[in-house]
Amino acid sequence: MHVKITPNNQVQVTSPDEIAPQVEVAKYPDVEVDSAAIVLAPVLAQSVEAVRDKLIASGISEKDVADASAWARRSKE
């Protein structure tokens, strides 16, 4: 089965209708190049709790996040 890839400003991948029911379709897939193959994998949405657990495991506190947010939102002038 062949797939048509149309490069444009948004890079579209067009596949046969038979493919969609067989795979999990993600709006923004993770794209990797393996040798000469382009591999598309769905990006799974994580719950807020999973993200919070990863931040805690990384040693990032709520204060660190608040400080980073304040820094990013500061006036740039």
CA distance 64 to 57: 13
pLDDT tens-digit readout, 18-40: 877 887 766 777 888 888 888 88
Delimit the domains of the chain by residue range.
4-41, 46-77
Lowest mean pLDDT, pick from 11-25, 35-49, 60-74: 11-25
Beta-bridge partners for 14: 4
Contact 17, 3 (CB under 8 A): no
Is the pTM above the cut of 0.75? no
Q: CA–CA separation, 48 vs 1, rounded Å? A: 39
- pLDDT above 90: percentage of residues in the chain: 22
Residue 59 confidence class, pLDDT cut points 50, 70, 90: very high
pLDDT, tens only, 9-18? 666 777 778 8
